[in-house]
């Protein structure tokens, strides 16, 4: 049996005070801050139940750091304000320096992700060097990216990163493994995403869903 590689989750988290501004038509600033924190907790809970060697969170937000520690995650602050791409690159450097086999990058706003989906993405990986990806529902975002080793492929996140990531992997001689997964696919950025979350079936008893129903969204 092939041994399970030493894979760490890498989770960049922006400060909650500035989170989810595109949801302003539906939510007040305190509601958006609460939503960001609650979605992060749902993601951390899924990661804590998955087959991972560890969880690394890159943030300067005290509440995010507290949640991370509650779920056994390690917190760093290297380049935490350098955007999603810069924060992920900093985590990749740390994991490479420490000799870990792989890095699974995911955002903190995919509250329907499950430990089972995370394990499925990990199980789909090929021998290093390899690149495995779970796209966003619109095939624009890269919501789950597994690199073996952690710096196997230079990552650059943004509103349209999925196909560029596939191209970058191929330029580095790696054929990507694509794993569509419903929980990874639904990230919450726009009002339409919130509506999709509320009507997603089957309903999942996430903290996020409970919060939104309490808001009356």
The per-residue pLDDT for range 14-65, each reduced to its tens digit, is 999 989 999 999 999 999 999 999 999 999 999 999 999 999 999 999 999 9
pLDDT at 2 over 80: no
Compute the average pLDDT of residues 130-144. 96
Mean pLDDT taken over the chain: 96
Q: What is the pTM of this model?
A: 0.96
Higher pLDDT, 1 or 191: 191
How many other CB atoms sit within 10 Å of the CB of residue 177? 16
Structure tokens at 16: 């909650």
What pLDDT is stored for residue 5 in this prediction? 84
**Tell me, what's the pLDDT at 193?**
96
* β-strand partners of 55: 9
Task: Compute CA distances 112 → 55, 115, 117, 197, 214, whole Å.
Answer: 18, 10, 10, 8, 18
For the cut 80, the answer to whether the pLDDT of residue 80 exceeds it is yes
Q: Are 9 and 54 in contact (CB under 8 A)?
A: yes
Question: pLDDT of 152-183, one tens digit each?
Answer: 999 999 989 999 999 999 999 999 999 999 99
At residue 183, the pLDDT reads: 97
Q: Give the other-Cβ count within 10 Å of 168's Cβ.
A: 17
Q: Which residues sit opposite 177 in a β-bridge?
A: 132
d(CA 204, CA 207): 9
3-17 residue pLDDT tens: 578 999 999 999 999
**In this predicted structure, what is the pLDDT of residue 1?**
35
CA dihedral 89→77→19→68, nearest 10 degrees, is 100
Residues linked to residue 145 through DSSP beta bridges, in sequence order = 105, 133
| 8 A C-beta contact, residue 194 and residue 217 | yes
Provide DSSP, the chain.
Answer: -PPPP-EEEEEE---GGGTTGGGTTT--HHHHHHHHHHHHHHHHHHHHTSS-SEEEEE---HHHHHHHHHTT-EEE-TTTTSHHHHHHHHHHHHHHHTT-SEEEE--S--TT--HHHHHHHHHT--SSSEEEEEE-TTSSSEEEEEEESTTSS----STT-HHHHHHHHHHTT-PPEE---HHHH----SHHHHHHHHH-SS----HHHHHHHHHT-
- CA angle, residues 15, 148, 105, in degrees to nearest 5: 20
Can you give the pLDDT at residue 3? 56
pLDDT class of 217 with cuts at 50, 70, 90 = confident
| pLDDT, tens digit, 9 for 90 and up, residues 89-127 | 999 999 999 999 999 999 999 999 999 999 999 999 999
């Amino acid at each position: 049996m092939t041994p399970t590689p030493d894979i760490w989750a890498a989770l960049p988290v922006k400060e909650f005070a500035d989170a989810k501004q595109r949801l302003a038509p539906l939510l007040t600033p305190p509601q958006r801050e609460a939503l960001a924190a609650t979605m992060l907790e749902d993601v951390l809970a899924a990661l804590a139940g998955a087959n991972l060697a560890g969880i690394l969170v890159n943030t300067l937000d005290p509440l995010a750091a507290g949640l991370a520690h509650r779920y056994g995650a390690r917190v760093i602050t290297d380049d935490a304000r350098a955007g999603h791409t810069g924060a992920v690159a900093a985590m990749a450097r740390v994991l490479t320096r420490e000799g870990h086999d792989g890095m699974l990058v995911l955002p903190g706003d995919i509250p329907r992700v499950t430990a089972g989906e995370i394990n499925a993405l990990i199980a789909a990986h090929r021998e290093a060097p390899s690149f495995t990806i779970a796209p966003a529902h619109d095939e624009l975002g890269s919501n789950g990216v597994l690199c073996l080793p952690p710096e196997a492929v230079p990552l650059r996140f943004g509103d349209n990163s999925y196909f560029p990531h596939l191209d970058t992997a191929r330029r580095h001689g790696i054929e990507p493994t694509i794993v569509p997964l419903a929980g990874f696919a639904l990230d919450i950025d726009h009002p339409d995403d919130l509506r999709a979350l509320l009507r997603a079936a089957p309903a999942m008893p996430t903290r996020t869903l409970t919060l939104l129903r309490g808001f009356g969204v």
